[in-house]
Amino acid sequence: MIFFNEKERVFKLDTPNTTYMIGIVDKENFVGHIYYGKSLRDIDAAYLMRTEEPPFIPSKNNRERCSFYDCFPFEYPTSGVGDYREGGIGIRTAAGHVGSMLSYISYEIIDGKPELKGLPATFGTEKECMTLKLVCEDKYVGMQVELLYTVFEDVDVITRSVRITNIGQEYFYLTRVNSACIDMDNKDFDMVSLHGSWARERHIQRKTLGYGIHNVSSFRGESSHQDHPFLALVDKNTTQENGEIYAMNFVYSGNFRAQAEVTQFDSVRMTMGIHPENFCWKLECGESFQAPEVVMVYTDKGFDAMTNTFHKLYRNHLIRGVYKNKKRPILINNWEATYFAFDTEKLLSIAKEASALGIEMLVMDDGWFGKRNLDNCALGDWIVNEEKIRGGLKYLVHEVNKLGMKFGIWFEPEMISPDSDLYRAHPDWAIAIPGRPGTESRQQFVLDLSRQEVVDCIYEQVASVLRSANIEYVKWDMNRQLTDIGSYGLPVDRQGELYHRYVLAVYQMQDRLTKEFPHLLLENCSGGGARFDPGMLYFSPQIWCSDDTDAIERLEIQEGTALIYPLSTMGAHVSDCPNHAVGRVTPFDTRGIVALAGTFGYELDVTKIPQEDRDKIPGQVAMYHKYNDLVREGDYYRIASYAQNHKYDCWQVVGANQKQSLVTFVQVLSRVNFKSIRICLKGLNPDMRYRVVFENDDNIADKVYTGDMLMKAGLLVPVLWGDFQARLISLTNLE
């Protein structure tokens, strides 16, 4: 619900359990942030902006206007006129000036949620959400700014975005655009963020928030392996079950900066938006710039509540398409099985064995096109290599389909190899600084997708392949960051638009793809998890979580990913051992159990693995079909973290009616002369009686306990023989 009190000049936005309040101040109509937190009944809260304290509002004390600007809790701050904290927006006029200040003009309350042109965003019907549009302007610059807030009726989320329009008589440049800002009192917060690198993405980091600026960011042209477009400020005592959290997640797949700044007055300014590094957008008269969306979550019930709020929002209001609420096919990918050394015969041999074991889709990875026998050529030449794919793609797909399997294919549409026919014909189609030798990575360059002719050419190549056969899955990869930021197609005064135009073009291509092929299952990938973000989830219901498929390494990666994203979004496979990334050997059972926490599939040569492992695949397939609906749709709870205790990992999923639950327990290192581990479960109905079954351990007898007993007193998991052991524990209501 959204309400405006005209007398108090206060806007009140209510979700089921939270309140967000905005106030209009002084005759100059400054827009201030009043409150964000637990639900309030009252609306008379403008006193929280402290405008009755020195330095007072400018109409009462204009001589200290600069001091007012530097401490007032602005809802969307500007820069250059006296607020020395991070600004929401930065501009440079045609004359070279940088100052701006916004004044409130009008508002509109809209049923439903307007689309953000050219950008992915959450969605909802007129019955599911309401949107507040606050219109502000700087008449001196000739700039109008629309602040958009959407309140969801079924989940404690407020989304924010910004639209900036040039209503003046001359152009100006945007040099910074944040999509959200919250000014609030410092509560001695900790800051929680996600960090990593290739093959170790999204590890959780928690640290004390001290004075000054703390940020996580990427200006690599992608949301990145290294940092993640997520930031949470949490109470010092926040746990999984209790404590205040203010969280932001960016629905964007390019450069970002998420920042928390503790000021001289013990306030905190929390911002999120496009990274200003090398960003400069020219806005001509009458033109508008639409900023991406930020998802904001507040809870006072700890990380489990925050996590399930994000999960519910993304499952119901971000993921789209035929697989939105549908079980995904179990696939086998040939990458770690064969790398580039495959042909039609080899792929069909894998498919025949896999289909007999219950696997449902074969995915042909890198190496099927052009002269691509190594990773040093042919990107951009998306033509089937019929020396390898003998009989052609249509024949291969038909033969796979005859086995009762679907067929999928890998592309890297955003890249170009110097050794390719496309590059030889169009060297200016690569992102490059004219006259400077390009920086290669993986012996490839990045296509300049700010040029529509490049987008159209690549899209048509990809679409032609998909039209040629019954292809039902695409893995869309992107294996390097952007460098040498320059475009032969953009004028000098628009070179600073390249990063953002690139991301918009990726969105355009994937939008076209999902519209032309609506039944396609699209899985995004970027060297593993470098572009695992809400922007990509809008187009693909799942994303390859990491190139590190080792079950033990995946514990920390999947824990950090599941902190925000539903389990159904995490591409997770059973791979061969010794693992190709770390050389570790783990039991086949454990690899399967860890992968069940995601989309589930295989990344190995099923014709070569030990017979003992091969014989276990039908059981894993059956377990996936038995529990995937629960894993995909249930509430997720973190019971224990191997990253914290260095001994074992444990998580739980609970069905919506609380009648079914699945607990995953992974003992990383065995310990001698220790007793069993007690785990206290969550989310159950205390009055229900549950049958507890250790699914993959016949040595542990079934037991019956009440939900009350399991949550308060706990369940005992015996010490398991050997390292890297895992157990699935199912709970079923007996009534």
Write down the pLDDT at residue 735: 77
Please say if the pLDDT value at position 374 is more than 80: yes
Per-residue pLDDT at 620: 97
How far apart are alpha carbons 59 and 52 in whole angstroms? 12
Model confidence over 72-112: pLDDT tens digits?
A: 999 999 999 999 999 999 999 999 999 999 999 999 999 99
Residues 6+ apart with CB under 8 A from 418: 440, 443, 444, 445
pLDDT at residue 715 in the model: 97
Mean pLDDT across 504-526: 98
pLDDT of residue 608: 97
| Residue 418: predicted pLDDT | 98
pLDDT over 90 at 402, yes or no: yes
Strands 190-195 and 677-679, sheet pairing: unpaired
- 3-class DSSP state for residue 302? helix
What is the pLDDT, as a whole number, of residue 700?
84
End-to-end CA distance of the chain: 38
| CATH homologous superfamily, domain 2-317 | alpha-galactosidase from lactobacil brevis (2.70.98.60)
Banded pLDDT at 696 (limits 50, 70, 90): confident
**Which of the four pLDDT bands, split at 50, 70 and 90, describes residue 466?**
very high
| Domain parsing of the chain, residue ranges | 2-317, 331-633, 638-733
**Per annotation, catalytic residue among 419, 477, 548, 605:** 477
Does the annotation count 477 as an active-site position? Answer: yes
Judged by DSSP in three states, 49 sits in: helix
pLDDT surpasses 90 at 701 = no
| Residue 318 pLDDT class (50, 70, 90 cuts) | very high
Residue 381's pLDDT is: 98
Question: What letter would DSSP give residue 394?
Answer: H
DSSP H or E stretch at residue 622: helix 617-633
Joined together, the tokens standing for residue 561 give: 């990913």
How many residues can be counted in the chain?
735
Q: Please tell me the predicted confidence (pLDDT) of residue 698.
A: 82
Single out the catalytic residue among 533, 547, 589, 649: 547
The pLDDT assigned to 159 comes to 98
* pLDDT band at 133; cut points 50, 70, 90: very high
In this predicted structure, what is the pLDDT of residue 117?
A: 95
* Separation between Cα atoms, residue 237 and residue 439, nearest integer Å: 47
Q: Which CATH superfamily is domain 331-633 in?
A: Aldolase class I (3.20.20.70)
Interatomic CA distance for residues 503 and 223, integer angstroms: 10
Mean pLDDT of 166-185: 97
331-633 shares its CATH topology with 638-733: no
What DSSP assignment string belongs to 492-533?
GGGGGGHHHHHHHHHHHHHHHHHHHSTT-EEEE-BTTBTT-S
| Distance, CA of 630 to CA of 634 (rounded, Å) | 5
**Angstrom distance (rounded) from CA 596 to CA 615:** 17
Look up the CATH number of domain 638-733: 2.60.40.1180
What's the number of CA atoms in the CB half-sphere (13 Å) around residue 333?
Answer: 25
Half-sphere exposure of 484 (CA within 13 A, CB side): 22
Asked about 547 being catalytic, the answer comes back as yes
In the three-class reduction of DSSP (H, G, I as helix; E, B as strand; rest coil), residue 669 is classed as coil
Mean pLDDT over the full length of the chain? 97
CB-based contacts of 687, cutoff 8 Å, min separation 6:
706, 707, 708
**Helix segments in 405-485, DSSP class H:** 421-425, 452-467
**Residue located via tokens 């539903």:** 566
What is the average pLDDT across 591-609?
97
Name the DSSP letter for residue 380.
T
| Cα–Cα distance, 732 to 657 (Å, whole number) | 11
pLDDT one-digit tens code per residue, 517-571: 999 999 999 999 999 999 999 999 999 999 999 999 999 999 999 999 999 999 9
Give dist(CA 416, CA 427) in Å, integer.
Answer: 10
Closest-CA residue to 346 (of 407, 277, 396, 401) = 396
699: confidence class by pLDDT, cuts 50, 70, 90: confident
